[in-house]
Amino acid sequence: MVKAILFNLASKVLDKLLFSIGGRDMVHYEESGEESSEMESVYALKCYISHEVNHLHKGLKHISAIAELM
C-alpha cells in the first residue's frame, strides 16, 4: 500500500516536472490600486487560431491544409 502511494506521488511529481508549463497570473485593480497574483501550471499549450482549432499542432496542420488549397 505504501509503495503504491509513493509511486502515485512520484508519478504526479514527474508529470509536473516534465509536462507542465508554469506561469503567474497578475491582476491590477485600478479603482483600489490593489494587486493580486496567482501561480498556475498548465499541461496543454493552446493557441487559439479559430473557434474549432485551439492546439498549436492542430493549428499548424490547419494552416498547411489551407495553403495547399490555394
The whole-angstrom separation of Cα 37 and Cα 26 is 4
Does 18 or 40 have the greater pLDDT score?
Answer: 40
Label residue 44 by pLDDT band (50, 70, 90). Answer: low
pLDDT of amino acid 35? 92
**pTM score of the predicted model:** 0.34
Query: What is the chain's Cα-based Rg?
Result: 20
For the chain, how are helix, strand and coil distributed in percent, rounded to 5? 45, 25, 30
pLDDT of amino acid 45? 61
CB neighbour class for 55 (10 Å; exposed up to 12, middle 13-18, buried from 19): middle
pLDDT of amino acid 57? 65
Amino acid at 11: S
All cell numbers assigned to 16 = 509536473
